[in-house]
């Protein structure tokens, strides 16, 4: 990280203290890590043993190589719908089993200044597990996903996260207009990956959701 970036990191650290308080008021736990290495250690340390862990589609988690680290934890079974060789039907079945996993690890698409988590999902197993099922939900969220309010969250997801995810997944045969021009057209495409908006206002089970905030940019 260049020296020119230092004020941004300092601002994010100060802002994180506010976000941790806001999430706490919504019965969610949170912690802040300024570096990638610290965030990885923090997240891995929150996974109990023994435990089953469901893998969700997340560039934030996958980009850090965390799935291999989680798979290597003693006593941990990683439920991996992306495992090589699985048929689409078998992958779907792993996702269904994942709704009863001990731990779900993923990210969020946006976090508002008052502590609301905003997500847009395609197959929707990720948001389903965030809401109910897994005993613990661990979210790795880069501070680049912090936005002022819900309106800004929707805008962020539609202008950045959703088109970028479409481009990432284009090789799977998606035929969505954002892949061509990088803009969301609020389409009705058969291969649309934007099917479920979920705003998490709070957790009925205190600290079931733990947000690990990460100072450096992570995911999109
Ligand atoms: S709604 Fe359609 S155009 Fe917009 S990001 Fe999703 S798939 Fe792309």
Spatial separation of the C-alpha atoms in residues 19 and 143, rounded to whole Å: 10
pLDDT in tens, the chain (220 residues): 677 789 999 999 999 999 999 999 999 999 999 999 999 999 999 999 999 999 998 888 888 889 999 999 999 999 999 999 999 999 999 999 999 999 999 999 999 999 999 999 999 999 999 999 999 999 999 999 999 999 999 999 999 999 999 999 999 899 999 999 999 999 999 999 999 999 999 999 999 999 999 999 988 8
Question: For ligand 1, is residue 20 a contact (CB within 6 Å)?
Answer: no
How high is the pLDDT of residue 57?
Answer: 84
How high is the pLDDT of residue 104?
Answer: 98
Q: Are strands 103-106 and 110-112 parallel, antiparallel or unpaired?
A: unpaired
Q: What are phi and psi of 27, to 5 degrees?
A: 65, 35
Q: 105 pairs with which residues across the strands?
A: 55, 138
Element (H, E) at 137: strand 136-142
- CATH 3.40.50.10420 given to domain 3-214: yes
Distance 195 CA to ligand 1 centre (A): 9
Distance 185 CA to ligand 1 centre (A): 6
Pocket test for ligand 1, best of 159, 166, 190 (most atoms within 8 A of CB): 166
- Counted residue by residue, the chain has a size of 220
If one counts every other C-beta atom within 10 angstroms of the C-beta of residue 63, the result is: 15
How high is the pLDDT of residue 21?
Answer: 98
Domain assignments of the chain as residue spans, ordered by start? 3-214
The residue whose CA has the least distance to atom 4 of ligand 1 is 184
Which alpha helices (DSSP H) does the chain contain, by range?
6-25, 36-45, 59-63, 66-71, 88-98, 125-131, 150-156, 162-168, 178-181
The residue whose CA has the least distance to atom 6 of ligand 1 is 194
């Amino acid at each position: 990280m260049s020296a020119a970036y230092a004020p941004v990191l300092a601002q994010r650290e100060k802002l994180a203290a506010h976000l941790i308080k806001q999430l706490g008021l919504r019965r969610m736990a949170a912690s802040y890590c300024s570096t990638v290495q610290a965030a990885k250690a923090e997240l891995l340390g929150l996974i109990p043993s023994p435990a089953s862990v469901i893998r969700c589609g997340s560039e934030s988690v996958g980009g850090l190589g965390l799935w291999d680290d989680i798979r290597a934890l003693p006593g941990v079974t990683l439920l991996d719908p992306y495992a090589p060789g699985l048929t689409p039907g078998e992958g779907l079945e792993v996702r269904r089993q994942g709704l009863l996993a001990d731990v779900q690890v993923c990210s969020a698409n946006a976090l508002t200044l008052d502590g609301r988590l905003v997500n847009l999902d395609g197959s929707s197993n990720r948001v389903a597990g965030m809401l109910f099922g897994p005993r613990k939900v661990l979210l790795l969220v880069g501070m680049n996903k912090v936005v002022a309010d819900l309106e800004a969250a929707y805008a962020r997801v539609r202008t950045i996260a959703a088109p970028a995810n479409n481009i990432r997944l284009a090789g799977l045969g998606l035929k969505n207009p954002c892949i061509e021009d990088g803009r969301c057209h609020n389409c009705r495409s058969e291969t649309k990956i934007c099917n479920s908006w979920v705003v998490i206002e709070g957790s009925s089970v205190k600290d079931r959701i733990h947000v690990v905030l990460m100072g450096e940019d992570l995911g999109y």
